[in-house]
Chain A
Amino acid sequence: MIYLAYDGSLNGDWVSRYGIRLATHTAEKKLTLVHIQDNSVSPVQVVEKITKIEQECSAQSIELCRKILPLKKNVCRSLLDAIPYGSESFVVCGTRIRSKRQAFLSGTISEKLLESDKFNVLAVRVVQPGLLANPRRFLIPLAGHPRGFKSAWPFFKLFLPEVEELYLLRVMNVSSFQLLHFSLHRMQELRKKGLKYLAAVIQDIKQGCGADIFRLDYRVVVSSDWSREILVHGCKLKTRMILLGASERTRLNRAVYADSLERVLRGTPCDMGIYRGI
């Protein structure tokens, strides 16, 4: 079931299209819109906007279920109370439309939802509203997690019917000190390791999606700056959506990771989805 955390803003309207898009690829063909009345947008305007979303839903044969709820302790708590926990729930929410102190995700409700670990969450930064949430060309950076593509799969599956091209990027992250000292041979070894990892991932994808339903290509780079590589490849490959996993590591790692994540969010040349599954 797809849940849309909707705040009534223009950015919310853009993000809502992702909710609708993902709902079209579920068996239920149903989208639950959850709006918490925190008075940041006038209730009349919210209702008008939701009616428009409903029209878009019905144009795509999606049933929209409205949940306009009063504010409890805070917006995040209210959302957590309203959405059922579990792997069946997919929550679509937005990052900030404009950065606040250079941050798009940090300090937002979306960040808290991602951290909550109660359901699958996809926080979207919409950079290209004209795509109408139909990106078709994807870049999925992989950090080398032993689970491979498994954590991205539930989210990617929801986009699958409209994917035309998928690029996998494996950045073999090394420190800048190592980068300066590694021999070419060592670099090549690292690249081979990355290629081996991607070969296994590609096999998984082909098993999951069936061979050749979309164009699949991959890149392996050795770098001391993975966020830069994602931006450069997003630009070079003209991708329309970057799907990036939120860190599943320790809080300290997450804090370090968050800064680079924000850097990608700030510089992204296309729409970007930050996902975290359970």
Chain B
Amino acid sequence: MNKAKQIQNVNPDEVYSYLSSRPEGLNDHEVEERLLEVGKNSVEVRDQWKWVRSLLKQFTNFFTILLNVSAVICFVADNLQPGESMNVLGWALLGVSFLNALFSFVQEYRAEKAMEALKKFLPPRVLVRRNGNNVEILAEDLVPGDILIVSEGDRIAADGRLVKSGDLVVNNAPLTGESKAQSLHASAVDKRMSESENLVFAGCSVFKGSGEAVIFATGIRTEFGKLAQLSQSIRRSPSPLEYETGRMVKILTIIAVSMGFSFFLYGVFSGRSLWVNLVFMMGIIVANVPEGLLPTFTLSLAIGSLRMAKKNVLVKELKAVEALGAVHVICTDKTGTLTHNQLTITHLGDAIACEKLKDKGSENFLLKLALSASEVRKSEKGFSGDPLDVSVADSYVEKGGDFSAFEKDIEKHFAFDVDKRRSAGIFSADSQKFFVVKGAWVAIRPFISGMQDNSAAQPVKVDEEALEKAEAAMRKVAATGLRVIAIAYSILAEGDYTDAKQNDLEHDLILAGFVGIEDPIRKEVPPAVKKCHDAGIDVIMITGDHPDTALAIAQKSGIVVDGQNMAGVLTGDILEQLTQEQLIEALGKGVSIFARTTPEQKMKIVAALKAMDKVVAMTGDGVNDAPALKAADVGIAMGKKGTDVARESAQIVLLDDNFASIVAGVEEGRAIYSNIKKFTNYVLVSNGPEILPYIIYILLPVPLALTVIQILSIDLGTDIIPSMGLGQEPPDPEEMRRPPRDRSEGLLTRPLIIHSYLFLGLLEALWSIFLFFFVLVEGGWEYGQELASNNVLYRSATGIALSTILLMQIGNLIGRRFIYRSGLDMGIFKNKLIFFGIIIQVVFSWAVLYFPPAQKVLATGPVSIEIYFLAWFGIPLIFGLDFIRKKVAQRG
């Protein structure tokens, strides 16, 4: 220990001086001055411009900027030459850009509710001593140096150093994640701040007793305030999908702008009018940008989140839907997630060989001892308290014990100490006083000097060899998956033990026996773990339990194979000493069980995995998990046992706390990514027939086959529903037999670009342009002849070009459902959106030619029915040629 002191290291009488206070409290002047300087005791950092900034940020991505610039060009063009409906196009583009931004903003806004949940942990009013009087004040008026008075049931409003404690027991779960009662005292301790028993922390609550503390930190300076502030200030890293869409959008934008600008310059130098060049540039940009893609992404993720909700996976941030599908590692808790968290005592073992007790008397005595060191409350609904303590009480009653009668014999209770890993109690029976300690074997072993021998009248003395034997027997039981707790006692001399200290009594204990507790594994877990392994996902279990118990549960769950030794297990003590590099090495060697860990160590494991370039899903339930849940690739909170803060900070909430639901979510996430790839492929195909007419138009003296408004009718109209249909395709069973996708591959791969633009896109382009010229030539057009935009022949020709693209998109749509299968084999009626999408394409392909209102808006005209049938031929053409490609590729 260093000489220099922190506030927990100083004596209670020195505390006042260090914190510029005095036993009678601060005076009004001091309070006013400190309040002015330090500010209110509030964990909320008010940032009135936060949401405005957030909204504006949504307009800064490439895609939105491009859409907005295009809209401005449209308005300018409309000003230069009115009557071409360019302003309609401008408004449409602005609308798309605004909707995109609004979608993202709403998502971000919904995710920021953690602060509201955090505020609930702080009390509105507190009792303090000021000017020598105890007064109740608003908690936000607390200042450093105030004397805070707390008693049973209070929530603590700021961090303070105890100067008086009357058996004060607190619950520090919001900060530590361990929902255990901790006894506090006012004496100086030689420990770290977070481990000190003489400090009270904001956000925690008083379980029982009373105390006085001098406040040393208020507001965001408290440990709780720092958690709150971090939860607000940490921005989540972009999800893998965001990276990939960002990359895709940038590439498409660069292609669109450079192509548009190059041809604009070509047009200028070849002597075309500015208006023609502007329209042309707009056309190229609009044709290149799949305007409907981003809204379809969002809709597809939203549909995916609905499907996940049916599997008990509540998605709070849409991007997490897909991120879950990209995970390489799932770090999971044991209790409640892999197991039911329903503890049952199934083994009452003797002290010598941990063998099952045979007579009822011995069982009753052991349970009585265990119960005296447990803290439970009885109500109409049954026992409440720590699950372990409840299981002791349940077992005691089950074996015929009278809880209410025994409760009266318990004189004192020493709450469970997380660091000591044991609790204790004093009770009287048969005019004797028993001091009992209950806890982890390693925590009790140093104090044992004797053992209960049920075959002898008196306990036997023990030596190191006997202790070794007892430990080996205990480990054997633990290795069957039971959590084993040791029970030891001593008989106290007559006297008053009201103010007795646990440390003073812990010596010369007699080992009474062991209690084995089972927490059954959820039946869905082993198949879910197997599914993970088949899908190339590693499962890592992090638990506070004994290594033997942890290993047994891991074996039963299938996380490790049966018969695996302790090489795959790392305990918290060792983990604490490892550097990140050493931990990475251990993980590389296959460590997948972390036992005897603290909730804090979870962060260390996750950080090491991330440094190994793994996408990590992390589960959490405590308030202290909030920043980590926000910083994780995928933060998963527990819906049942989790706190509101954890739930609000996570992207995903497991409604049933079940590990199997995470795996169901992963499967769904993978399906969604696969579907996103499908509809990206689908949407990009129509870019081919949209771009080619512009290139031909600028290079040759021919009319433009497709106008800008017609392009938009595809991108923002007819392509949306089929894309959503593809986004709703069910998971492919093969999806969970493939390893996680290669992150370096990206969404917009070279094969996808070639397939979309140069194969299917080119096919659509060639067939639609062929029919365009066929109609023109049939109508008497001659090469080089210019046609006005309202020319009847021109309108019919552009109409058939548009209609052909719409129909060919049906063949493209069906083909996109599978990589190698035809797509028809699955039936087009099973996916209602795909069926509906096909109907829309058919109806629209007819309407643009023969329905006057559609003709008017899109500036199209009718063609003969024979030519319309030729357009239909495009469907088998594109579908058939693509199917041949699939078969060739499959053989290759």
Instruction: Note all chain B residues with C-beta closer than 8 A to A269.
Output: 226, 229-230
Q: Are A98 and B38 in contact (CB under 8 A)?
A: yes
Q: Tell me whether A231 and B233 are in contact (CB under 8 A).
A: yes
Cβ A130 vs Cβ B7 within 8 A: yes
Contact A219 B233 (CB under 8 A): no
| A130 with B193, Cβ < 8 A, contacts A10-B37, A98-B38, A236-B603 known | yes
Which one of B192, B229, B744 contacts A184 once the chains associate, using CB atoms below 8 Å?
A: B744
Q: A128-B221, A131-B7, A232-B631 are in contact. Are A267 and B233 (CB under 8 A)?
A: yes
* A130 touching B233, Cβ below 8 Å: no
* Pair A21/B226 contact, Cβ less than 8 Å: no
Is A145 an interface residue when CB atoms closer than 8 A count as contact?
no
List of A residues within 8 angstroms of B600 by Cβ: 238
Q: Is the CB of B217 within 8 A of A128?
A: yes
Cα(A216)–Cα(B580), bound, Å: 10
Q: Could you say which residues of chain B place their CB within 8 Å of the CB of A183?
A: 744
Closest Cβ neighbor of B246 among chain A residues: A180
A218 within 8 A of B: yes
A231 CA / B235 CA spacing, docked (Å): 10
| A127-B221, A129-B144 known; A134-B6 Cβ under 8 A | yes
Which residues of chain A come closer than 8 Å to B17, judged between CB atoms? Answer: 52, 55
- Cα separation A11 to B235 with both chains bound (whole Å): 29
- Nearest-neighbor residue (CB-CB) of A14 within chain B: B144
Judge whether B2 and A130 touch: CB under 8 Å: no
Interface string of B1-42 (1 = CB under 8 A from A): 010111110100000011110000000000001100111000
Report if A249 contacts B (CB, 8 A): no
Total interface residues on A, CB under 8 Å, equals 51
Closest A residue to B245 by beta carbon equals A180
Is the Cβ of B628 less than 8 Å from the Cβ of A236?
yes
CB <8 Å contact, A130 and B37: no
Given A97-B37, A129-B144, A236 and B229 contact (CB-CB distance below 8 Å): no
**Nearest CB in chain A to that of B45: its residue:** A266
Task: Choose from B193, B217, B234, B243 the contact partner of A228 (Cβ within 8 Å).
Answer: B234
List B residues 570-614 near A (Cβ within 8 Å): 579-581, 600, 603-604, 607, 611, 613
Is B258 part of the contact surface with A, judged by Cβ < 8 Å? no
Give Cα A55–Cα B235 distance, bound, in whole angstroms. 44
Do A188 and B233 form a contact, CB below 8 Å, given A97-B37, A98-B38, A232-B627? no
Contact A130 B230 (CB under 8 A): no
Do B39 and A187 have beta carbons less than 8 Å apart? no
Q: Which residue of chain B lies nearest to A227 when distances are taken between CB atoms in the complex?
A: B233
A95 at the interface (CB under 8 A from B): no
Complex Cα distance, B20 from A181, in Å, reads 55
Minimal beta-carbon separation of B718 from chain A (angstroms): 31
Q: How far is the CA of A185 from the CA of B745 in the complex (A)?
A: 12
Q: Give bound CA distance, A86 to B8, whole Å.
A: 38
Name B221's closest neighbour in chain A (CB-CB).
A127
User: Residues of A contacting B216 with CB < 8 Å?
Assistant: 129-130
Complex Cα gap A98–B4 (Å): 27
Asked whether A11 lies within 8 Å of B603 as measured between CB atoms, the reply is no
Q: Which single residue of chain B is at the shortest CB-CB distance from A60? A: B4
Closest to A223 in B: B237
Knowing A162-B4, A238-B600 are in contact, say whether A10-B34 is a contact too (CB < 8 A).
Answer: yes
In the complex, chain A residues 182-225 whose Cβ is within 8 Å of any chain B Cβ: 183-185, 187-188, 191, 216-221, 225
Residue of A nearest to B608 (CB): A219
Beta-carbon contacts under 8 Å, A132-179 to B: 132-134, 136, 161-162, 164, 177, 179
Chain B positions within 8 Å of A26 at CB level: none
Q: Tell me if A's interface is mostly helix, strand, loop or mixed.
A: helix
- Option from A127, A228, A266 in Cβ contact (under 8 Å) with B235: A228
Q: Which of B190-210 contact A (CB under 8 A)?
A: 192-194, 199
Q: Tell which of A131, A221, A270 has the most Cβ of chain B within 10 Å.
A: A131
Q: A98-B39, A129-B217 are in contact. Are A266 and B34 (CB under 8 A)?
A: no
Contacts A130-B159, A131-B7, A183-B744; A10 near B20 (Cβ below 8 A): yes
CA of A154 to CA of B216 in the docked complex: distance in angstroms?
30
Q: Which residue of B lies closest to A21 (CB)?
A: B4
How many Å from the CB of B189 to the closest CB on chain A?
Answer: 13
Chain A, 229-252, contact with B by CB distance < 8 Å: what is the 0/1 string? 001100110100000000000000
Complex alpha-carbon distance, A270 and B611, angstroms: 24
> Could you tell me if B144 and A10 are in contact, using CB atoms closer than 8 angstroms?
yes
Contact of B483 with A by CB under 8 A: no
With A131-B6, A184-B744, A232-B631 as contacts: A217 and B39 at CB distance below 8 Å: no
Query: Does chain A have a CB within 8 A of B461?
Result: no
What sequence of 0s and 1s flags, for each residue 246-278 of chain A, a beta carbon within 8 Å of any chain B beta carbon?
000000000000000001001101100000000
Contact between chains at A130 and B250 (CB < 8 Å): no
Q: Give chain A residues whose Cβ lies under 8 Å from the Cβ of B743.
A: 184
**In the bound complex, how far is the Cα of B144 from the Cα of A238, in angstroms?**
23
Question: Which of B6, B230, B234, B631 lies in contact with A132, CB distance below 8 A?
Answer: B6
Contact assessment for A238 and B37 in the assembled complex, using a CB-CB cutoff below 8 Å: no
Chain A residues with Cβ below 8 Å from B7 are 129-132
From A134, A225, A228, contact of B5 by CB (8 A): A134
In the assembly, what is the distance between CA of A60 and CA of B238, in Å? 50
Asked if residues A129 and B6 are in contact (CB atoms below 8 Å), the reply is: no
Residues of B contacting A133 with CB < 8 Å?
A: 4
Hey, what's the 0/1 contact readout for A16-33 against B, CB within 8 Å counting as 1?
Answer: 000001001000000000
Q: What is the CA–CA distance of A127 and B194 in the complex, to the nearest angstrom?
A: 15
Q: Is B247 an interface residue (CB 8 A)?
A: yes
Q: Does B161 contact A (CB under 8 A)?
A: yes
Compute how far the CA of A185 lies from the CA of B45 in the bound complex, rounded to whole angstroms: 40
Distance to closest chain A CB from B159 (angstroms): 6
Cα A10 to Cα B216 in complex, Å, equals 12
CA distance A183 to B243 in the complex (A): 11
Are A162's CB and B6's CB within 8 A? no
Query: B607, A219: Cβ atoms under 8 Å?
Result: yes
Residues of A within 8 A of B226 (CB): 127, 235, 269-270
Nearest chain A CB to B324 CB, angstrom units: 20
* Distance between Cα atoms of A133 and B226 in the complex (Å): 18
Give the shortest distance, in Å, between B535 (CB) and chain A (any CB).
20
The answer, yes or no, to whether A117 is at the interface (CB within 8 Å) is: no
**Contact residues, B663-682 vs A (CB, 8 A):** none
Assuming the contacts A97-B37, A236-B631, A269-B230, asked whether A130 and B6 have C-beta atoms less than 8 A apart, the reply is yes
Q: Which residue of B lies closest to A179 (CB)?
A: B243
Chain A residues closer than 8 Å to B580, beta-carbon distance: 217-219
Check if A266 sits within 8 Å of B247, measured CB to CB. Answer: no
Assess whether A180 is in contact with B247, with CB atoms less than 8 Å apart. Answer: yes
CB distance from B741 to the nearest CB of A (A): 12
Q: In the complex the two chains form, what is the Cα distance from A97 to B247 in whole Å?
A: 42
Give the complex CA separation of A161 and B4 in angstroms. 10
Cα distance A245–B627 when bound, in Å? Answer: 25
Q: How far is the CB of A97 from chain B (nearest CB, A)?
A: 6
Interface check A63, CB cutoff 8 A? no
Is there contact, CB below 8 Å, between A235 and B37? Answer: no
Whether B18 pairs with A267 at a CB distance below 8 angstroms is no
**Cβ of B4 and Cβ of A218 under 8 Å apart?**
no
- Taking CB atoms, residues of chain B closer than 8 Å to A184 are 613, 743-744
Contacts of B233 in A (CB 8 A): 231, 263, 266-267
For the complex, give the distance between the alpha carbons of A130 and B194 in Å.
11
Known contacts A9-B37, A130-B159, A236-B603; is-contact A181 B6 (Cβ 8 Å): no
Most buried by B among A128, A162, A179: A128
Task: Give the complex CA separation of A180 and B743 in angstroms.
Answer: 11
Tell me the smallest distance from the CB of A272 to a CB of chain B, in Å.
12
A to B CB contacts below 8 Å, 27 in the list: A55-B17, A98-B38, A102-B47, A128-B217, A129-B7, A129-B19, A129-B221, A132-B18, A136-B2, A180-B238, A183-B744, A191-B611, A216-B579, A217-B580, A219-B611, A228-B235, A231-B230, A231-B233, A232-B234, A232-B627, A235-B628, A236-B603, A236-B628, A266-B45, A267-B233, A267-B234, A269-B226
Q: What 7 A-B pairs come out closest when comparing CB atoms?
A: A267-B233, A130-B7, A130-B216, A134-B4, A269-B226, A217-B579, A184-B744
Instruction: Known A-B contacts: A129-B221, A180-B243, A218-B579. Give 6 more (CB < 8 A).
Output: A131-B7, A136-B192, A181-B247, A216-B579, A232-B234, A263-B233
